[in-house]
Amino acid sequence: MARASLAVLALLALASRLDAAPDSASDAFSWSGFALARGTSGPDTAPFQERGLSAQVQLGVDWRPSVFFGTHVHLLARDDDGRAKRGRAGVVEAYAEWNVHRAQSRLRILGGAFFLPSSRENIDELWATPYTITSSALNTWLGEELRPIGVDAAYTWRRSLTIGGTVFRGNDTFGGLPADRGWVLGDRWTVLGEHVPADAEYYTSVSAETDHRLGWSARARWNNDHANVQLTRIDNRGDALEHGELLNWETPFTIAGADYTLGDWNFAGEYGWGTTTVEFSQLRFPSTIDAGYVLVSRRFASSRASLRADDFRVRTVRTRAITAAWFWMPPGKVRLGVEATVAGGKRRAMAEVRYRFSAH
């Protein structure tokens, strides 16, 4: 407890120092992020993964000298490594972005390491969700095990129809966590170079390249001023073999998602399905995996209330979860939140204080 408390104070002090730093460089350079302290009660076994007192800082640094070009780095530091290797601090995303605009159409190209733009839930800066403290099982998994390192191109026609595709390296172990550890409800994003335990013997990594195969993803999205509908296909093309402490999985996966905004109300949902396969002694062992959620959220004058229902399965084992969250957002930079989740007969409660900072 003392160690966690010291980490909370140190991380909050770092956030305050960044927020107070003067703007000296140029209008093209900016940063923003948040620091949080969180208390959790409940088990730390799947579908939950943390308990006690924890703290973290996330920082986004952007350099955008023009509307056509920019760079982004997403940094993270936390007091708990989650029993992972090199997991306390590191780079979450790092990419360069090119934009070409013509009339009402746009071509956007990313190069580097980035979150795949599939989530209808994690829509805020730094891939955060505005609705709950923790993410759905589906997006928790994507935050832990999928970080394309490659090139993504997306063309938006008349601001409503977007077609995109990604070619990436790494992510060879994608699929190991739900198959071995099980689905969880959390918000612990893996940093580049980190090895996350999947079971007592093997680890998973978003950045390790072991089979020298390129993965790919394709997506299509339609949107207007109130709604988004998207279909995404992912295939990591893993060789499904053991590589030291890393165990590769072959995981083709499809995600369908939608969201709708009506005044102060937000509705969102996603469902993902596929198989993940591993091979031992030339015998293949496939596992069916799927996960989905629906949520409803309402924004009030200085608060937000949300309710989310999750459903997730590995092979023949299915679990359902209900999460309720409430945030108080007074004027200023502090947000207070509480969240309660019931999943598979287990219960978890959370309370969080989050401090936002930015400089432009």
Specify the DSSP element, H or E, that contains 14. Answer: helix 2-20
User: Is residue 47 reached through a cis peptide bond, with omega within 30 degrees of 0 on the bond before it?
Assistant: yes
Q: What is the mean pLDDT of residues 244-249?
A: 98
When comparing pLDDT for 216 and 104, which is higher? 216
Residue type, 98: W
pTM of the model: 0.93
Q: Residue 239 pLDDT more than 90?
A: yes
Residue type, 8: V
User: Residue 103: which residues within 8 A CB-CB, separation 6 or more?
Assistant: none
CA distance 31 to 13: 16
Q: Are 219 and 209 in contact (CB under 8 A)?
A: no
Q: What percent of the chain has pLDDT over 90?
A: 88
Q: Residue 201: its pLDDT value, please?
A: 95
Characterize the bridge pairing of strands 149-157 and 161-169.
antiparallel
DSSP helix/strand/coil, 167: strand
Angle 58-297-163 (CA atoms, 0-180°, nearest 5)? 70
Q: Which residue in this structure is represented by tokens 């938006």?
A: 156
pLDDT digits (tens, 9 = 90+) for 9-63: 555 555 555 555 544 446 799 999 999 999 999 998 999 988 899 999 999 999 9
Q: Residue 157: its pLDDT value, please?
A: 95
Q: Residue 78 pLDDT more than 80?
A: yes
pLDDT digits (tens, 9 = 90+) for 289-326: 999 999 999 999 999 999 999 999 999 999 999 999 99
Q: Are 195 and 85 in contact (CB under 8 A)?
A: yes
Q: What is the mean pLDDT of the chain?
A: 93
pLDDT digits (tens, 9 = 90+) for 123-167: 999 999 999 999 999 999 999 999 999 999 999 999 899 999 999
Q: Residue 80: its pLDDT value, please?
A: 87
Q: Give the pLDDT band of residue 174 (cuts 50, 70, 90).
A: very high
Class of 2-359 in CATH: mainly beta
User: Is residue 252 reached through a cis peptide bond, with omega within 30 degrees of 0 on the bond before it?
Assistant: no
Strand order, beta sheet including 246-247: 196-197, 203-204, 246-247, 242-243
Identify any residues that bridge with 218 across adjacent strands, giving them in sequence order. 165, 233
Please give the full DSSP string across 285-325, using - where no structure is assigned. Answer: EEEEEEEEEEEEEEE-SSEEEEEEEEEEEETTEEEEEEEEE
Specify the DSSP element, H or E, that contains 145. Answer: helix 137-145
Q: Which two tokens stand for residue 14?
A: 């770092």
Angle 349-354-360 (CA atoms, 0-180°, nearest 5)? 155
DSSP 125: G
Domain boundaries, the chain: 2-359
